Structure 1
Amino acid sequence: MRIILANPRGFCAGVNMAIECLERALDFFGPPVYVYHEIVHNKYVVDRFKGRGTVFVESLDEVPEGSPLLYSAHGVSPQIREQARGRRLVAVDATCPLVTKVHLEAIKYAREGYTIFLIGHEGHDEVIGTMGEAPEQMVLVETAEDVEKLDIGNPEKLAYLTQTTLSVDDANLVIAALRRRFPQIANPPKDDICYATQNRQEGVRELASRSDLVLVLGSQNSSNSRRLAEIALSLGVPSHLIDGVSEIRAEWFEGVGTVLITAGASAPEDVVQECVDYLVRNHGATMEEAYVREENVHFPLPKSLRELLPAGSR
């Protein structure tokens, strides 16, 4: 058996920044540190931080007044920020800067009187936070079919934004449908789908054809990880989205000569290596790394955390 290990894979700059924020906050405040939603959508990461005394909450009512609170990488609505101030919480904003970019675009379009279509998945933490910036002026659109059902009062001032972790192909289908129906629709000057999401998707598109099976490391509630598995399946290659080696099934590998392994942007590298070790140990697999793109993006710690830390540890 041969393993093709996709590069880039795993943690992106936004996830690295969010995880470092939480690690530094735990060191500085000591446990418990509270996080609104999961810091990133990955079971292994969340469980590891729970073991260090992190408390993940779905309501700020669960957070004692005056406690340290992190906003997850997916961002939060202005209403949550206001509620945190009301409870005198020491808030650290670990929102990915690329998500913040979408929030700022929503604010800009809303101030200018636009109706904004947000292309994304209902119920996703990022979508909830973004729509909170202008709830009266934003409409969630999930599919091209949804576009045909839209009933818009003022079609002259329309704009669209996208969730950062979508499938590029799926987003383009919805964007094309919006442009057909509303040719004058405005869009942000730079694509909202993040560089890491696009790079990992491009890797699957390029490498899946050389594989008999694709393993995607990532959690089921990770939007970008799910997209990777879906892309492989759309190309006719069997694909499985797994959290780790414990979910691997021996029957998947019957008649399989080449396995492509990749990981969503919130999946840690150690779970990737455990899967590689499993295939080497059980199938005598050899490995090659395949480089599709080079990534050198780094996001600094947010100002809200840097101001709390001693000068030498920022």
Structure 2
Amino acid sequence: MYNVRPLEVFLAQPRGFCAGVVRAIEIVELALEKYGPPVYVRHEIVHNKYVVESLKAKGAVFVEDLSEVPPKAVTVFSAHGVARSVEEEAAQRGLPVLNATCPLVTKVHNQGKRYMAKGRVLILIGHAGHPEVEGTMGQVPGPVLLVQNLDDVAALTLPRDTAVAYITQTTLSVDDTREIIAALTERFPDIQGPDTRDICYATQNRQSAVRELSKLVDLILVVGANNSSNSNRLREIGTEAGIPSYLIADGSELDPAWLNGVRAVGITAGASAPEVLVDDVIEALRRIGPVTVSVLPGREEDIEFLLPTELAPA
């Protein structure tokens, strides 16, 4: 018999879409309105199947390589950013491009270029294979050393007096990178890096909100995609706090067995997960038994990013 007591559901604040994701989705939607379908998008615009499928239904076509884009077709670069080689290929083919790269990712690209222009060896803290990391490594004019953990720092063969600089993947928070930055600083006295205020605000805020959530609940549900770096990290943070935590795409993936003996459930969502999917999870809980829902106090986000000039309102 599953739990039949009224469940308390606490929603983390903030959760879900960040300003960069809102901007990226809006770019695709406005491009479809202005130019008509199809509009081609290189890579998933954001890492969420629901978002991708809804844009497909409106006429967006998602591709992994520009060779799949027909001549002269309107092309959108995803929020994760792309390498210079991709930009150059689009220019050579004369493709009209709308760049939906998150402005915070672009800021990291520019930081890396500045450090390299000063002659520093550049170190990128991030996850190998993530599209943002691949884009960043392909934007900076020169070799970039990728470190994912403390072992990677220890394995660096640079002399101690090397002038180095570091940048970080935006979906990592201050907390995620603190130990690695400390290890790099200890290893290389001549080191420079961005101010912690330059770390993605949305990543940090959502992680802090999950830590607060974990103090109140017996179970945490993170709404997001399996290939979403920031969603996976939210689940990990819940687990690290000692709370059973699960990453689910929507209400259909909720396992009623998780609710055995549970009085309070916390729900959050990754930065690319829309609120409609949070609502779907709450409805799935309601189908199991009575639910009360409350939103925790948390940091309000009012950041908005400008649209590309081609799509900005007159």
Residue in structure 1 matching 2:219, options 213, 217, 221: 213
Cα shift readout 1:194-233 (whole Å, capped 9, x = no counterpart) = 1011000000011112110000000011111111000000
Aligned length: 308
Residue in structure 1 matching 2:59, options 50, 53, 73: 53
Rounded to whole Å, the distance in 1 between the matches of 2:161 and 2:49 is 43
Q: Which residue of 2 aligns with 1:113?
A: 119
Q: SS of the counterpart of 1:92?
A: strand
Q: Any conservation in 1 of the 2:220–2:267 contact (CA below 8 Å)?
A: yes
Q: Which residue of 1 aligns with 2:237?
A: 231
What's the offset of the Cα at 1:135? 5.7
**RMSD of the TM alignment (CA)?**
1.4
Identity of aligned residues (%): 52
The aligned runs of 1:147-226 (5 Å cut-off) are: 147-152=153-158, 155-226=161-232
Aligned residue identity for 1:116: L
Rounded to whole Å, the distance in 2 between the matches of 1:52 and 1:28 is 13
What's the offset of the Cα at 1:303? 2.3
Q: Which residue of 2 aligns with 1:256?
A: 262
**Does the alignment pair 1:290 with 2:281?**
no
* Gap runs ≥5 in structure 2: 1-6
The aligned runs of 1:66-77 (5 Å cut-off) are: 66-77=72-83
What's the offset of the Cα at 1:105? 0.5
Normalised by the length of structure 1, the TM-score is 0.95
**Does the alignment pair 1:81 with 2:87?**
yes
Moved beyond 4 Å, runs of 4+? none
Residue in structure 1 matching 2:38, options 28, 32, 39: 32
Rounded to whole Å, the distance in 2 between the matches of 1:135 and 1:248 is 46
Rounded to whole Å, the distance in 1 between the matches of 2:306 and 2:173 is 27
Rounded to whole Å, the distance in 2 between the matches of 1:46 and 1:135 is 32
Q: Any conservation in 2 of the 1:155–1:182 contact (CA below 8 Å)?
A: yes
Aligned residue identity for 1:77: A
The aligned runs of 1:115-154 (5 Å cut-off) are: 115-134=121-140, 136-152=142-158
What's the offset of the Cα at 1:121? 0.3
Q: Any conservation in 1 of the 2:113–2:141 contact (CA below 8 Å)?
A: no
What's the offset of the Cα at 1:125? 0.7
Aligned residue identity for 2:262: V
Q: Which residue of 1 aligns with 2:284?
A: 278
Cα shift readout 1:140-186 (whole Å, capped 9, x = no counterpart) = 00001110000125843200000000143231111111111112210
Q: SS of the counterpart of 2:208?
A: helix
What's the offset of the Cα at 1:20? 0.5
Rounded to whole Å, the distance in 2 between the matches of 1:97 and 1:192 is 11
Q: Which residue of 1 aligns with 2:99?
A: 93
**Does the alignment pair 1:8 with 2:17?**
no
Q: SS of the counterpart of 2:226?
A: coil
Q: Could you say if the C-alpha distance between residues 149 and 210 of structure 1 is closer, same or farther in structure 2, counting changes exceeding 3 Å?
A: same
**Which range moves more in the overlay, 158-167 or 277-286?**
277-286
What's the offset of the Cα at 1:52? 1.6
Q: Which residue of 2 aligns with 1:245?
A: 251
Q: Could you say if the C-alpha distance between residues 154 and 88 of structure 1 is closer, same or farther in structure 2, counting changes exceeding 3 Å?
A: farther
Aligned residue identity for 1:239: S
Aligned residue identity for 2:85: Q
What's the offset of the Cα at 1:264? 0.6
Aligned residue identity for 2:27: C
Aligned residue identity for 1:233: T
Q: Which residue of 2 aligns with 1:17?
A: 23
What's the offset of the Cα at 1:55? 1.1
What's the offset of the Cα at 1:304? 4.2
* Gap runs ≥5 in structure 1: 307-312
Rounded to whole Å, the distance in 2 between the matches of 1:192 and 1:38 is 25
Q: Any conservation in 2 of the 1:216–1:241 contact (CA below 8 Å)?
A: yes
Q: SS of the counterpart of 1:132?
A: helix
